[in-house]
């Protein structure tokens, strides 16, 4: 399996290198074709240069027009044809002009470049070279045009083939080694990422547990201090979470809103107990004192690392959508979304609960009250979503 992935990776690399090399070969073959017409000594091989230029032009146009697509069979065909054409060109140049230094130079360059650029198993290169060598001997006038030292030349060509073969063998093995190292590094990286994620999740769970414990403690203290909050805080938290779910909040954000709802009135423990539990309506001065509970709650929770976000929610849960709320008179989207959610949940539970100075509103009247204050006290979008919740939906 690993070898198959490596071979696929190598084919992709070969294709990329060929794509980059092809425009250069196209330009070089065109230049050599022009030179063939100008230099009398090269007129005989102009058709060889023309052959290389024609193939490169067709291949280049095929790539640009999308004919050579990234499919396994087409990639292999493209690579094999390109290697064959390059080797055939170098062999024909030396086979038809063995007396020319330029031909030897072309032969050496094309084999070295091809061997360096295209990496494959040495067995494949051996097949290429055997076929190429047979073509040089039997299909070109090479032997007839070499006047002397034919044995030395053939041995030199064979040694050259062996050198290229060995060079590609080294390149191939080095690529295989690099691939295995990269695979191990990738596996090690994945393992490290997994461990980091596990540790992070454990820390987050620990933090959530701490938030839960602190919030429950504060809620217990508040319920002991203010009789009215005994069921109110829990109801607000549950209603707020229902709205957060309907809005598509993730679980972590839902939990944050739940704990904020549970202790949204924690600042009231800074206010006189008799005033909090007063059976009659509050006068203006008393109401101003009660309004201070949002800032008190913020000051109590802002310095706790696990409650920083919750502290902001607590501070702004009495802001109004039109900017007439407290403590900062924030307006519209300036109000944290979680605070807007708590505000609706708080108002809904207040309307649906009995107070010492009035009876609870009916479901229909509570819905009408929310609609009436939509756009002034509450966000119209949140009100529309809330009214579709089960707790606010008419029977």
Give the pLDDT confidence of 159-198 residue by residue, as tens digits.
Answer: 888 888 888 888 888 888 888 888 888 888 888 888 877 8
Return the DSSP state at 97: -
User: Which residue intervals of 118-228 are DSSP H helices?
Assistant: 122-138, 142-145, 150-225
Residues 224 and 372 in one domain: yes
3-state secondary structure at position 205: helix
Confidence of residue 326 (pLDDT cuts 50, 70, 90): very high
DSSP 260-290: HHHTTTGGGGGS-HHHHT-SSPP-HHHHHHH
- Percent of the chain surpassing pLDDT 70: 87
| Last residue in a domain, options 161, 177, 193 | 177
Rounded mean pLDDT, 346-360? 84
Q: Cα–Cα distance between 113 and 115 in angstroms, integer?
A: 5
CATH code for the domain in which residue 271 is found: 1.10.3210.10
| More confident call, 154 vs 226 | 154
Q: 379 and 297: one domain?
A: yes
What 8-state DSSP symbol labels residue 352?
Answer: T
> Mean pLDDT over residues 25-45, rounded?
74
Other CB atoms within 10 A of residue 239 CB: 24
Say if CB 95 and CB 142 are below 8 A apart. yes
Q: Please indicate, yes or no, whether residues 142 and 231 belong to a single structural domain of this protein.
A: no
Q: Which domain holds residue 304?
A: 205-392
Nearest Cα to 256, choosing from 267, 269, 240? 240
Q: Is residue 322 situated within a structural domain?
A: yes
Residues 14 and 136 in one domain: yes
Closest to 83 (Cα-Cα) out of 48, 58, 55, 118 = 118
Residue 291's pLDDT band (cuts 50, 70, 90): very high
Cα distances (Å, whole numbers) of residue 322 to 111, 129, 377: 79, 84, 6
Q: Closest by alpha carbon to 28, among 104, 78, 79, 89?
A: 89
Comparing C-alpha atoms, which of 127, 157, 131 is closest to residue 142? 157
Question: Residue 209 pLDDT > 90, yes or no?
Answer: no
Asked whether residue 369 is domain-assigned, the answer is: yes
Are residue 27 and residue 77 in the same domain, yes or no? yes
Per-range mean pLDDT, top range of 3-12, 49-58, 370-379 = 370-379
Give pLDDT, residue 395: 63
Number of domains observed in the structure of the chain: 2
Could you tell me if 45 and 165 lie in one domain? yes
User: DSSP letter at 362?
Assistant: P
Q: Of 159, 177, 195, which closes a domain? A: 177
Q: Residue 355 pairs with which residues in a beta bridge? A: 358
pLDDT of 330 reads 95
Q: DSSP class of residue 355?
A: B
Please state whether the peptide bond connecting residue 233 to the residue before it is cis, i.e. omega within 30 degrees of 0. no
Cα 305–chain centre separation? 30
């Amino acid at each position: 399996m690993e070898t198959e992935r490596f071979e696929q990776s190598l084919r992709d690399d070969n294709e990329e290198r060929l794509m980059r090399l092809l425009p250069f070969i196209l330009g070089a073959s065109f230049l050599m074709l022009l030179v063939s017409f100008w230099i009398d000594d090269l007129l005989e091989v102009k058709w060889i240069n023309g052959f290389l230029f024609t193939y490169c032009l067709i291949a280049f146009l095929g790539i640009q027009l999308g004919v050579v697509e990234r499919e396994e069979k087409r990639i292999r065909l493209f690579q094999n044809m390109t290697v064959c054409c390059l080797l055939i060109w170098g062999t024909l140049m030396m086979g038809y002009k063995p007396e020319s230094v330029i031909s030897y130079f072309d032969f050496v360059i094309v084999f070295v470049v091809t061997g360096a650029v295209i990496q494959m198993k040495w067995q494949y290169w051996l097949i290429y070279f055997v076929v190429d060598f047979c073509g040089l001997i039997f299909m070109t006038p090479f032997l007839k045009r070499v006047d002397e030292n034919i044995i030395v030349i053939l041995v030199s060509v064979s040694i050259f083939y062996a050198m290229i073969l060995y060079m590609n063998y080294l390149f191939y093995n080095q690529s295989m080694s690099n691939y295995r190292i990269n695979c191990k590094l990738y596996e090690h990286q994945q393992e490290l990422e997994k461990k980091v994620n596990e540790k992070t999740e454990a820390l987050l769970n620990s933090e959530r547990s701490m938030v839960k414990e602190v919030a429950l403690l504060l809620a217990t203290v508040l319920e002991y201090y203010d009789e009215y909050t005994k069921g109110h805080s829990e109801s607000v938290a549950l209603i707020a979470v229902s709205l957060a779910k309907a809005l598509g909040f993730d679980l972590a954000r839902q939990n944050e809103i739940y704990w904020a709802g549970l202790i949204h009135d924690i600042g009231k423990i800074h206010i006189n107990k008799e005033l909090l539990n007063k059976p009659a309506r509050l006068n203006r001065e008393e109401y101003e004192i009660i309004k201070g509970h949002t800032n008190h709650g913020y000051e109590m929770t802002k310095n706790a690392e696990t409650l920083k976000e919750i502290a902001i929610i607590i501070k702004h849960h009495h802001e109004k959508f039109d900017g007439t709320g407290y403590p900062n008179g924030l307006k519209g989207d300036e109000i944290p979304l979680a605070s807007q959610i708590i505000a609706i949940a708080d108002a809904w539970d207040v309307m649906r609960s009995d107070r010492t100075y009035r009876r609870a509103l009916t479901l229909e009247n509570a819905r009408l009250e929310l609609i009436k204050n939509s756009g002034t006290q509450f966000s119209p979008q949140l009100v529309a979503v809330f009214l579709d919740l089960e707790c606010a939906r008419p029977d």
